[in-house]
Amino acid sequence: MSTNNKAIFLDRDGVLNEEIGAYVWEPDKFIICEGVPESLARLKAAGYYLIVVTNQAGIAKKLYTAAEVRACHAKLQSTCGGIIDALYFADAHPSVSESILRKPSSGMLEKAVARFGLDIAQCWIVGDRLRDMQAGANIGVRGILVGEEGNTEGFAPHVADLRAATALILSQ
């Protein structure tokens, strides 16, 4: 058994890929944010599992398929050298179906904790929405909010992007 029991939970849209104000399911519109491959490599080198946790309500709304989400995730893995350990997505939407996986619920994080034997005290979640922070808080994972100042409602820590979040995590 590995002694590596710490992880970074990563929201996808607005953290790993550019937030375009609409659902992103086409690989050609799935643009990896600047600094993401380098940031993930630094976190991996520091011994963290890298686990993507993303709400994909467009599947429940029949706007796109799970296969299209997986194609975007394949592009992400390819761009980042295949170092992401797990990619979870919640395919529900409250207007169609309920799910304990969908953030702000913590089901995706709990699945990863069980799968990888994680110590939640050594884990972080990096996201661009308060629901990401809530999903982490539900199981005691520290959160770092990234992105525009407008949607933070005073949440701290709040940093510009994944590069800044990585620097903060590695300074602890």
Matching residue, tokens 């550019």: 18
Beta strand 158-159 with 124-127: parallel, antiparallel or unpaired?
A: unpaired
Indicate if 91 belongs to the active site. no
Cα(165)–Cα(27) distance, integer angstroms: 25
Please pick, among 11, 91, 128, 132, the residue that the annotation labels catalytic. 11
What is the 8-class DSSP label of residue 5? -
Indicate if 11 belongs to the active site. yes
Distances (CA, A) of 135 to 42, 59, 95, 124, 172: 24, 20, 20, 11, 22
What is the 8-class DSSP label of residue 33? P
| Three-class SS state of 57 | helix
Q: Which two tokens stand for residue 122?
A: 């050594």
Please pick, among 13, 91, 128, 161, the residue that the annotation labels catalytic. 13
Distances (CA, A) of 51 to 74, 88, 149: 14, 8, 25
Which sequence positions are flagged as catalytic? Answer: 11, 13
